[in-house]
Chain A
Amino acid sequence: AQSVSQHNHHVILSEAASLELGCNYSYGGTVNLFWYVQYPGQHLQLLLKYFSGDPLVKGIKGFEAEFIKSKFSFNLRKPSVQWSDTAEYFCAVNAQSGTYKYIFGTGTRLKVLA
């Protein structure tokens, strides 16, 4: 079955610490990969996405993610987090062809301490 796994459910970091959030997927065929973020009181919004080409993708606010096809992974990273990065982060995947579905992981709640 198609699925997305986010291994870290809650992460607490101090400001300036480095961040890496894990995402693994199980999906046959070629996929598109996404990270979405939900800041407190705001809508879900796109952080970054991968469709093809360079597997290292840069997004907004200094975030980046690396697609490793052999590991079915798309981990999110930021070298130095800020208090304003406190939010919930969701990894998502859809297939580039075939039956349309958009699958989200369960999310990771990040709290950054000032």
Chain B
Amino acid sequence: ETGVTQSPTHLIKTRGQQVTLRCSSQSGHNTVSWYQQALGQGPQFIFQYYREEENGRGNFPPRFSGLQFPNYSSELNVNALELDDSALYLCASSGRDRSTDTQYFGPGTRLTVL
């Protein structure tokens, strides 16, 4: 097990609602990345935060947004939920150096949009 924690474990929302997912990074890590994993697929990179700023972004619309706090924990916010947003959302922490960029994953938050 890694030291990365996520909350909540499961969440059910309806279409059009907004959701906030939370992540605490592993001790000593200053970078947090978020991924969406649909059923039967690999994780898809949403974005990464370093020093409270977005450091890179995948092909996700602006209604996916995030925050990183001074203690390096992070939030993922999704507005105007759509049915296709139903997925496992993974948080991963890592060090800043891209050459040693191992992602340490949390257990994920299972989001169901009805």
Chains A and B form a bound pair: yes
Identify the A interface with B (CB < 8 A).
4, 6, 32, 34, 36, 42-46, 49, 51, 90, 92, 94, 96-97, 99-107
Identify the B interface with A (CB < 8 A).
1-2, 4, 33, 35, 40-45, 48, 55-56, 58, 90, 92, 98-108
| Interface contact A101-B56, CB-CB below 8 Å | yes
A92 CB to nearest B CB, Å: 8
| Interface contact A104-B101, CB-CB below 8 Å | no
A110 CB to nearest B CB, Å: 15
**Who on chain A is nearest to B100 by CB?**
A51
| Interface contact A104-B102, CB-CB below 8 Å | no
Given contacts A43-B108, A46-B102, 17 further A-B contacts (CB under 8 A): A43-B105, A44-B90, A44-B103, A45-B2, A51-B99, A90-B42, A94-B98, A96-B98, A99-B56, A100-B56, A100-B98, A102-B101, A104-B35, A104-B42, A104-B44, A106-B40, A107-B42
**Who on chain B is nearest to A90 by CB?**
B42
CA–CA, A84 to B79, complex, Å?
Answer: 41
Residues of A within 8 A of B33 (CB): 102
Residues of B within 8 A of A45 (CB): 2, 104-105
